[in-house]
């Protein structure tokens, strides 16, 4: 289990689905656009004609469907899609939006019923920050997967800390209670966790959170004039230096990982 019954209940009771009914579907096209090059990289490295693809905490299932379609139609692979989620409601939505889905697992990512290296490519898109026992989740994904494609927000930054301090911790509480973001990562903290518990990082890429807010009509409409100015400033810094911008403001990062062999994973788990 995730070692946090209250967090487990947030998803297993479908409370998260009630608090976030869209499951952030409006962001899925952009996420797919960002991860497509990494999916192509996996296809280039892969030497199997039939592959098992698993999405963990896959929301609406649209990302799983798009990655399945790309591997099948563009790269000619026979793909068996899996979905693993604590939320029964989300699994039902994923079945509708990914008709090719062959196996659903209403399980915790920290301890699954999957066999060693049963999955060729695991997707963990904006999920790790929700998992209390994040290192346990990474170890388990390393055990069951050959490759891992992970995307995560980098929320441990100067702006986030100052905002949370100014609001007396309210900003942090809101992100935990409404969005379910248990962890706030920096690049170094996340990189070190992946390298120790999941596998060898083959490549990575930052993505600009401020630009997404400014370019998406629904997000931009909710911004005040002061916020628009701040995010334009953040986007400008990102254009010059994504690493430095991510120390100052929230951005996201994608890691493509070759998971440890079983013996290495067990050694690093000690």
Which CATH number characterizes residue 172's domain? 3.40.50.150
Question: Which residues lie below 8 Å from residue 102, measured CB to CB, with a gap of 6+?
Answer: 80, 81, 82
Checking if the pLDDT of 20 tops 90, the result is no
Checking if the pLDDT of 134 tops 70, the result is yes
The pLDDT of residue 89 is 87
Q: SS in 3 state form for 81-144?
A: EEEECCCHHHHHHHHHHCCCCCEEECCECCECCCCCCCEEEEEEECCHHHCCCHHHHHHHHHHH
pLDDT (mean) for 145-155: 97
Q: How confident is the model at residue 78 (pLDDT cuts 50, 70, 90)?
A: very high
Please report which helix (H) or strand (E) contains residue 12, including its range.
helix 5-12
What are 14's two structure tokens? Answer: 């479908």
Whether 46 is covered by a domain: the verdict is: yes
Output 240 or 22, whichever has higher pLDDT. Answer: 240
| DSSP 3-state of 145 | strand
| Nearest-angstrom CA–CA distance, 198 and 129 | 15
Strand partners for 205: 254
How many other β-carbons are positioned within 10 Å of the β-carbon of residue 164? 18
The pLDDT of residue 21 is 54
Output 88 or 241, whichever has higher pLDDT. Answer: 241
Whether 215 is covered by a domain: the verdict is: no
Output 101 or 28, whichever has higher pLDDT. Answer: 101
pLDDT (mean) for 103-130: 96
Whether 222 is covered by a domain: the verdict is: no
Calculate the alpha carbon distances from 105 to 85, 90, 141, 192, 268 in Å.
6, 11, 14, 29, 27
What are 22's two structure tokens? Answer: 């869209």
Output 238 or 17, whichever has higher pLDDT. Answer: 238
| Nearest-angstrom CA–CA distance, 78 and 18 | 35
pLDDT (mean) for 26-40: 88
Q: How confident is the model at residue 1 (pLDDT cuts 50, 70, 90)?
A: very low
Quick one: which of 191, 204, 197 has its CA closest to 156? 191
| Nearest-angstrom CA–CA distance, 140 and 128 | 12
Backbone angles phi, psi at 58, to 5 degrees: -80, 10
Checking if the pLDDT of 174 tops 90, the result is no
Checking if the pLDDT of 3 tops 50, the result is no
Strand partners for 55: 83, 123
Checking if the pLDDT of 22 tops 90, the result is no
Whether 131 is covered by a domain: the verdict is: yes
For the chain, the average pLDDT equals: 89
Calculate the alpha carbon distances from 136 to 59, 109, 194, 270 in Å.
21, 8, 11, 11
Range of the domain at 44: 5-208+252-263
The pLDDT of residue 16 is 58
| DSSP 3-state of 168 | coil
Whether 229 is covered by a domain: the verdict is: no
Kindly state the DSSP code that residue 103 receives in the 8-state scheme: E
Q: How confident is the model at residue 131 (pLDDT cuts 50, 70, 90)?
A: very high
Q: How many structural domains comprise the chain?
A: 1
Cβ neighbourhood burial of 120 (10 Å; 0-12, 13-18, 19+): buried
Checking if the pLDDT of 263 tops 50, the result is no
Whether 144 is covered by a domain: the verdict is: yes
Provide the CA 248 distance to its chain's centre, in angstroms: 21
Whether 26 is covered by a domain: the verdict is: yes
Strand partners for 153: 252
| Nearest-angstrom CA–CA distance, 191 and 194 | 5
Provide the CA 157 distance to its chain's centre, in angstroms: 19
Checking if the pLDDT of 266 tops 80, the result is no
Checking if the pLDDT of 2 tops 60, the result is no
pTM reported for the whole predicted model = 0.89
pLDDT (mean) for 37-50: 97
Checking if the pLDDT of 18 tops 50, the result is yes
| Nearest-angstrom CA–CA distance, 33 and 36 | 6
Q: How confident is the model at residue 17 (pLDDT cuts 50, 70, 90)?
A: low
Whether 225 is covered by a domain: the verdict is: no
């Amino acid at each position: 289990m995730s070692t946090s019954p209250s967090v487990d209940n947030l998803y297993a009771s479908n409370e998260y689905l009630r608090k976030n009914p869209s499951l952030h579907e409006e962001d899925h096209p952009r996420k797919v656009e960002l991860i497509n090059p990494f999916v192509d990289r996996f296809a280039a490295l892969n030497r199997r004609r039939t592959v098992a693809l698993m999405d963990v905490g896959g929301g609406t299932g649209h990302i799983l469907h798009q990655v399945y379609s790309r591997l099948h139609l563009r790269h000619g692979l026979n793909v068996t899609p899996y979905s693993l989620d604590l939320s029964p409601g989300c699994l039902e939505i994923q079945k509708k939006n990914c008709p090719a889905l062959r196996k659903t697992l209403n399980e915790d990512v920290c301890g699954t019923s999957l066999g060693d290296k049963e999955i060729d490519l695991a997707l963990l898109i904006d999920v790790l920050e929700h998992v209390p026992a994040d290192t346990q989740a990474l170890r388990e994904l390393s055990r069951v997967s050959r490759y891992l494609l992970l995307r995560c927000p980098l929320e441990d930054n100067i702006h986030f800390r100052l905002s949370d301090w100014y609001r007396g911790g309210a900003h942090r509480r809101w992100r935990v209670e409404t969005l379910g973001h248990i962890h706030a990562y920096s690049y170094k903290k996340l990189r070190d966790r992946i390298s120790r518990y999941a596998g060898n990082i083959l490549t990575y890429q930052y993505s600009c959170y401020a630009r997404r807010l400014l370019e998406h009509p629904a997000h931009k409409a909710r911004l005040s004039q002061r916020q628009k100015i701040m995010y334009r400033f953040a986007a400008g810094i990102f254009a010059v230096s994504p690493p430095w911008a991510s120390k100052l403001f929230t951005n996201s990062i994608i890691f493509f990982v070759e998971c440890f062999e079983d013996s290495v994973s067990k050694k690093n788990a000690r």
